[in-house]
Homo-oligomer: A and B are copies of this chain.
Amino acid sequence: MGRLTGGDPSLLRRINSAVVLHALRATDCATLTEITRVTGLSRPTVEGVVEGLIEAGYVVEKAADESVERRQGRPARRFRFRAEAGHLLGVEIGAHRVAALLSDLDGRIIGAQAKDVDETASADERLERLRTAVAELLRRAGVARGSLRAVGVATPGIIEADGTVRLGTALPEWTGLRLGERLSRSFKCPVLVENDANAAAVAEHWKGSATESDDIVFVLAGLSPGAGALIGGQLHRGYGGAAGEIGALHLLGREVTPETLLSTTGEPLHPLDEQAVAEVFAQAREGDQRARAAVDRFIQRLVHDVAALVLALDPELVVVGGWAAGLDGVLEPLRGELARYCLRPPKVALSLLGEAAVATGALRLALDHVEQQLFAVEGTMTARR
């Protein structure tokens, strides 16, 4: 029973190889007989493919578990996927810090490293800081740079398909930076660049608050909120990669900026001055009237921006992350106002991943890329198991 009739024999080999890898990866280990049954391939084909995968380093024969196998005569050889055959990096480049996560080919995290960086740092300084963090991370984990199969990078701004920052006002010298190209010099594997809120949406869907829903909006709440959306489980980037950039909404209609909204002095706050913002929230908790009014204005603005997203997209779930999510009094008003004004109010949840969301999403994007290369047989495999 051939899977394909005719066609390119090397393509067929590659597909069969992906089918076997996919089957092995879904299980702890398997015999040739089991692989043959699960994949529907012939025994000789499976033997040839497994041999090739062992040579390539992706599969290894597992030492027989003697206590179980011995009494049943000669034990069948068992094979397992070598998740340690390659590694992935997920990287966040933010205003205040750079962070990196390292995983094996199963996405299991085996190391993390973060470094503070000044919000005024130049692009060169920021990238140098990242390089140092990555080098330390690889060294501590004992992973060779050449073992990296893909690097995911998440950062604020509108990111073009080639990894260039089309617009990025939060970080100095960011607009126009060919970030993908710059980072590619440090790695031999593909480097994938993504907007930070988009990456966080992917992360919450992978292992955060949104594992149960495929239609979500992630709000990176700060003075100027950004957002990422999954539709049917897929990232919605928009036609030009600018979807979810709702922070510009307050520019319309002569409404005041968030920096002014949160000020208690008449002087606008600095957009990245999280300390000043935290103080305003603290003063509000202590009963300061001006601070309370400022926080009310700020939350009203956030609710408005999120409501615009919800009305446009109608997600099942809104996940709130970013620093504003950690402040008291953001989630409940948001939930209440959305319930009041949205025709079909979504569920609202806090980010589970918190500060790790952006780098985790970057890692997941790198993993997606490798899975497409190694394991994907068009759409057919997802239906198989």
Chain A interface (Cβ < 8 Å from any Cβ of B): 1-2, 5-6, 158, 166-167, 215, 227, 229, 231, 236-246, 248-249, 251-253, 300, 303-304, 307-309, 311-316, 337, 341-344, 346, 379
Contact = CB atoms under 8 A, between A and B. Distances in A.
Nearest to A379: B379
Contacts of A346: 239
Contact of A309 (B237, B242, B300, B312): B312
Contacts of A308: 246, 249, 308-309, 311-312
Q: Enumerate the 4 nearest inter-chain pairs by beta-carbon distance, A residue then B residue, closest first.
A: A238-B314, A308-B308, A312-B312, A243-B314
A253 B337 CA distance: 10
Contacts of A238: 215, 313-315, 344
A236 B241 CA distance: 17
A311 B249 contact: yes
Contacts of A5: 1-2, 5
Given A240-B344, A242-B343, 17 more contacts: A1-B5, A158-B343, A167-B344, A215-B238, A236-B313, A237-B314, A239-B344, A240-B314, A240-B316, A243-B313, A244-B311, A244-B312, A245-B311, A245-B314, A246-B308, A249-B304, A253-B300
Contacts of A303: 252
B240 A231 contact: no
Given A5-B5, A242-B314, A316-B239, A252 B304 contact: yes
A314 B239 contact: yes
A254 to B, nearest CB: 9
A251 to B, nearest CB: 5
Contacts of A341: 248-249, 251-252
A165 to B, nearest CB: 12
Contacts of A311: 242, 244-246, 248-249, 308
